[in-house]
Structure 1
């Protein structure tokens, strides 16, 4: 029995709750993974999983064994990557989930530089705004604005995502601009549907805190669609500044209620514990951190104008 391969198979099954998915991620057949787990169980003289036709879950022994095994696998991967880093540049395929708001207009513009810097890395980029578990869905790293959904995941925060309400000058000319958050209830609003707070919005100005239900005449999971809607003069939208900044600076959109602050969110890289020092993941995360440090370029002029804080 190759103990490390068996331990690695055990960690992957524990993380994915699936023998088939663990086999896919390891690049072996399902029978190989099953055999490695069975060998490890015979060696330990204890079952590591409770299996049924629909579920795979850790036994009490497996629960106790998992964390130390995950650290072992992570440490071996770390040492291997460190040696590769001394001898060569990172190579291989990196499967990435990327938030659309950053993928369109920012990440795409940086890809050529990343390719020049790391020609051996092939990126497989899936663009969507779902909160994913990278382990279960086979991503090496996911970039998202909501907290990691599992304690077994590492979260590296890269920058603050600021939001503000805005509208086209034509809409403001025709309907006027709200002076207080509650005035939004009398306007046509279009809102992003993916925030966990749903229809409830909280805005602050100094010690003043305003909470209101704002259902919106249009709701969408695409901030780019909302941006296009705002440009037509259709209504007031709430957009992340990473999408709205250019239009605000050009004057095709104007800020609404800029003296009130919406709670910011964090754009973060989320990846499995076993990828903590993965060379390809580290290369991409550090590259993006460098691109947006210390403040994102799209926010600097908005901060200087006092439109966001």
Structure 2
């Protein structure tokens, strides 16, 4: 018990010491959906821990140039080609294939990728399907994406369409957890989606990381319960927003 109390006291002292050192403006950019649904609920706690840090959070779904636009950090999902950035993973979210019970009653429940050919497929065009499915099925998934009657660039709109019974869609689970729990939506083909959705914080490779940025990254890791991942240079890969 004494050991636990000593560790707790040490942690409190560390946070207190960091709080006194962490000051200034911290500019962060992330996508609208992630910012509103996942990040925003965590910010009041960060503000209470580090009251001298002023947060400037910009939500948008465009590709942001961190250096030119003077952002300290970006929170991104997915990947695209760019150079000289470092990425630190903070969490992962499952992807789920889902539809309404009424839609499934009318169209039947798919058991494999081939069965989806008879369904109305709704897609978020910024989500590359090859990130989450088996390579052996990729041609069939690609064909579904190509033939989709509706494509959008917002998972929130996709969620609205699915809830209205318009079809089947692949959506980040954090957006539909309540609907899955209360039966508004049904998860389909659970074994078909192999990889979770990874979320990273990025910053320029050669830029000194100020204490305010470091404590924010560590805070996110702790809040989302992900195992700490050491920053790694991504070469010519920079994580880009998908949600």
TM-score by length of 1: 0.61
User: Counterparts of 1:90-239 in structure 2 under 5 Å?
Assistant: 90-147=22-79, 149-196=81-128, 203-204=133-134, 209-211=136-138, 212=140, 213-214=143-144, 215=146, 216-239=148-171
Tell me, in whole angstroms, the C-alpha distance in 1 between the residues paired with 2:70 and 2:22: 19
SS in 2 for 1:156: strand
The answer as to whether partners of 1:161 and 1:241 remain within 8 angstroms in 2 is yes
> Could you say which structure has the greater relative contact order, defined with CA pairs below 8 angstroms and 6 or more residues apart?
2
SS in 1 for 2:191: coil
Tell me, in whole angstroms, the C-alpha distance in 2 between the residues paired with 1:180 and 1:188: 15
Tell me, in whole angstroms, the C-alpha distance in 1 between the residues paired with 2:33 and 2:58: 13
Query: What is the Cα-based RMSD across aligned positions, in Å?
Result: 2.4
Tell me, in whole angstroms, the C-alpha distance in 1 between the residues paired with 2:25 and 2:42: 18
The answer as to whether partners of 2:132 and 2:196 remain within 8 angstroms in 1 is no
Higher-Rg structure is 1
The answer as to whether partners of 1:202 and 1:209 remain within 8 angstroms in 2 is no
The answer as to whether partners of 2:87 and 2:202 remain within 8 angstroms in 1 is yes
The answer as to whether partners of 1:98 and 1:142 remain within 8 angstroms in 2 is yes
The answer as to whether partners of 1:94 and 1:280 remain within 8 angstroms in 2 is yes
The answer as to whether partners of 1:101 and 1:242 remain within 8 angstroms in 2 is no
User: Counterparts of 1:1-309 in structure 2 under 5 Å?
Assistant: 88-147=20-79, 149-196=81-128, 203-204=133-134, 209-211=136-138, 212=140, 213-214=143-144, 215=146, 216-294=148-226
Deviation at 1:264, TM superposition (A): 3.2
Tell me, in whole angstroms, the C-alpha distance in 1 between the residues paired with 2:19 and 2:168: 54
The answer as to whether partners of 1:181 and 1:203 remain within 8 angstroms in 2 is no
Tell me, in whole angstroms, the C-alpha distance in 2 between the residues paired with 1:202 and 1:119: 39
| Shift in alpha-carbon separation, 1:276–1:239, aligned structure 2, 3 A | farther
Tell me, in whole angstroms, the C-alpha distance in 1 between the residues paired with 2:66 and 2:18: 28
Tell me, in whole angstroms, the C-alpha distance in 2 between the residues paired with 1:289 and 1:283: 10
Deviation at 1:169, TM superposition (A): 1.2
SS in 2 for 1:259: helix
**Structure 2 alignment gaps of length 5 or more:** 1-16, 228-243
TM-score by length of 2: 0.76
The answer as to whether partners of 2:84 and 2:206 remain within 8 angstroms in 1 is no
The answer as to whether partners of 1:98 and 1:127 remain within 8 angstroms in 2 is yes
CA offsets per residue over residues 168-205 of structure 1, 9 Å max, x none? 111111211111112222211211111356xx68733x
Deviation at 1:246, TM superposition (A): 2.3
148-157 vs 138-147, which deviates more?
148-157
**Structure 1 alignment gaps of length 5 or more:** 1-84, 296-309
4+ residue runs over 4 A deviation: none
SS in 2 for 1:170: helix
Tell me, in whole angstroms, the C-alpha distance in 2 between the residues paired with 1:288 and 1:89: 19
The answer as to whether partners of 2:26 and 2:53 remain within 8 angstroms in 1 is yes
SS in 2 for 1:95: strand
| Shift in alpha-carbon separation, 1:242–1:100, aligned structure 2, 3 A | farther
